[in-house]
């Protein structure tokens, strides 16, 4: 146990088996249960715990409560040479999102660039899960989502008007690791707020507003996130919610008002359709090294690329185990007891 007694190390493989078993007990088929375990444990390995296995109780209870379909009929409802739209049949968001990015990648091999959207599906986890699929295929990947009702204010607004829609770009490199940007359009993700609260750490000033629109650093009082960078984050969040919303047959966040469904949007750009891939990766590698070698300010060890810290943690945690907060594990243990699934860690 570490982090002053708050974390327990859990090995990735048994955690994966545990997650797989929970989904199967909830009625999710083997293929989708495997995919959920793959993506959520990988997200934990990249230290994005707010969107990893911590989400399992929410997803599974949504199924058990009848709010989410454990056996969706995922269908392609619109398709052309460079696009597709998929109906997720009110199921988990990860399977149709994976299919959408797979289709975008395959279409981009022929068209150079392709996009795919998903509607009528659940939360899709970490946006980087899907952009990184394109990077692995030697393409630039983009993903975004429209995550339910409004929770982020506009500058000057005393009530939320957009969802905290994330966006992710993944750009392949050559000898270096891919550059992976995964960011919320709010000042933070709600998951990060809950993580700080879980560890008893302060919420930075400027992140949260009360229900009356007053600034607060109390996570219990914070009902509204401020947009990242003021009008810039607000504008980005608004546009993401339209790409992953009305464009794919859904609604804008401000129109949902209690509707928990999500929509998702993906783009794959085939680098080789635009330029020589080897020349591209050589330029990216050189740029990465120049940025890493930039002189840091006092107290900073080095300048990092987007996603670099997550790559480093993944490499370390594959060997050492994933540090998970004890409250996170208690929530999983309660669900495991309910579903009669063996726990894979020691308290």
- Domain membership flag for residue 15: yes
3-state secondary structure 274-294: HCCHHHHHHHHHHHHHHHHCC
- As given in the structure block, the two tokens for residue 252 are 């804008």
Q: Confirm whether 214 is domain-assigned.
A: no
Final residue belonging to a domain, choices 292, 316, 336 = 292
Q: What is the pTM of this model?
A: 0.95
Same domain, 280 and 321: no
pLDDT tens profile 288-320? 999 999 999 999 999 999 999 999 999 999 999
Higher pLDDT, 292 or 148: 292
Domain stops at, among 292, 322, 337: 292
* Mean pLDDT to the nearest integer, 200-218: 93
Whether 128 and 56 share a structural domain = no
Note whether 140 and 282 are same-domain residues: yes
| Whether residue 135 has pLDDT greater than 70 | yes
92 plus 232 within the same structural domain: yes
User: pLDDT at position 258, please?
Assistant: 66
**Number of separate domains in the chain:** 2
Together in a domain, 155 and 270: yes
Same domain, 249 and 330: no
b/e code 118-135 from CB counts within 10 Å (16+ = b)? bbbbbbbbbbbbbbbbbb
Are residues 235 and 145 both part of a single domain?
yes
Average of per-residue pLDDT across 238-254: 95
Here the CATH number for the domain that contains residue 150 is 3.30.1370.60
Buried b (16+ CB within 10 A) or exposed e, 64-86: beeebbbebebeeeeeeebbbbb
Q: Are residues 106 and 10 in the same domain?
A: no
| In-domain check, residue 219 | no
- Indicate whether 199 belongs to any domain: no
Query: Which pLDDT tens digit goes with each residue over 49-65?
Result: 999 999 999 999 999 99
Same structural domain for residues 338 and 253? no
Range of the domain at 23: 1-71+308-347
Q: What is the CATH number of the domain that holds 16?
A: 1.10.1530.10
- CA angle 62–250–146, rounded 5-degree value: 65
């Amino acid at each position: 146990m570490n982090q002053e007694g708050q974390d327990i190390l859990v090995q990735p493989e048994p955690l994966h088996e545990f997650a797989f078993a929970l989904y199967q007990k909830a009625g999710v088929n083997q293929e989708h249960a495997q995919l959920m375990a793959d993506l959520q444990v990988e997200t934990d390995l990249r230290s994005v715990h707010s969107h990893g296995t911590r989400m399992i109780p929410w997803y599974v209870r949504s199924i058990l409560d009848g709010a989410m379909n454990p056996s969706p009929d995922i269908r392609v409802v619109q398709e052309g040479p460079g696009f597709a739209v998929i109906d997720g049949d009110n199921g988990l968001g990860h399977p149709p999102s994976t299919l959408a990015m797979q289709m975008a990648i395959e279409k981009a091999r022929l068209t150079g660039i392709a996009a795919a959207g998903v509607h009528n599906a659940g939360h899709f986890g970490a946006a980087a899960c899907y952009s990184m699929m394109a990077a692995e295929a030697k393409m630039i990947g983009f993903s975004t989502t429209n995550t339910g009702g409004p929770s982020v204010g506009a500058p000057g607004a005393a009530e939320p008007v957009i969802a905290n829609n994330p966006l992710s770009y993944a750009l392949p490199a050559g000898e270096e690791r891919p550059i992976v940007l995964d960011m919320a359009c709010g000042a933070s993700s709600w998951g990060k707020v809950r993580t700080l609260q879980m560890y008893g750490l302060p919420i930075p000033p400027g992140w949260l507003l009360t229900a009356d629109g007053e600034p607060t650093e109390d996570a219990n009082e914070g009902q509204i996130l401020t947009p990242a960078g003021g009008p810039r984050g607000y504008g980005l969040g608004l546009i993401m919610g339209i790409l992953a919303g009305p464009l794919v047959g859904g609604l804008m966040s401000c129109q949902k008002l209690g509707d928990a469904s999500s929509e998702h949007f993906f783009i794959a750009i085939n680098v080789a359709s635009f330029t020589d891939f080897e020349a591209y990766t050589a330029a990216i590698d050189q740029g990465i090294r120049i940025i890493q070698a930039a002189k840091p300010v006092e107290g900073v060890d080095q300048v990092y690329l987007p996603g670099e810290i997550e790559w480093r943690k993944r490499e370390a945690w594959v060997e050492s185990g994933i540090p998970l907060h004890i409250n996170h594990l208690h929530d999983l243990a309660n669900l495991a007891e309910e579903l009669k699934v063996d726990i894979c860690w020691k308290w």
